[in-house]
Amino acid sequence: MIMSHITAVFQRRHITVCRAHVEAMDEFGVGRAQHAYHVLSLRDQGKLQAAELQQVKAELEELIRKNLGTAEEPLGTLEEV
């Protein structure tokens, strides 16, 4: 399941999830969901640095494309809070 892969990405990058929100978006019966994660760096106990944010975003986008077979479909945004 994709959730375990997302968790593995966060663990590898020493990121902890403070809060998560998953909202079902099953418009056409395809079982999609929108995920939002509020995370902290375990190294600094604070916000991710800009480079860390870009790296985790790229890794998660690749993971989603591999698992869901999306080509150029927008995957949403990963923003600093």
Report pLDDT for 58.
94
- Number of domains the chain contains: 1
- Name, in order, each residue with C-beta under 8 angstroms of 42's C-beta and a sequence gap of 6 or more: 14, 15, 16
**Residue at token pair 């902290």:** 40
Domain of residue 46 covers 2-68
pLDDT for the residue numbered 32: 74
State how far Cα 51 lies from the chain centre: 15
Beta carbons within 10 angstroms of residue 42's beta carbon: 12
Residues 24-70: tens digit of each pLDDT:
877 665 667 788 899 999 998 899 999 999 999 999 999 988 887 75
Distance between start and end Cα atoms, the chain: 27
- Is the residue at 78 inside a domain? no
> For residues 18 and 39, what is the distance between their CA atoms, to the nearest angstrom?
5
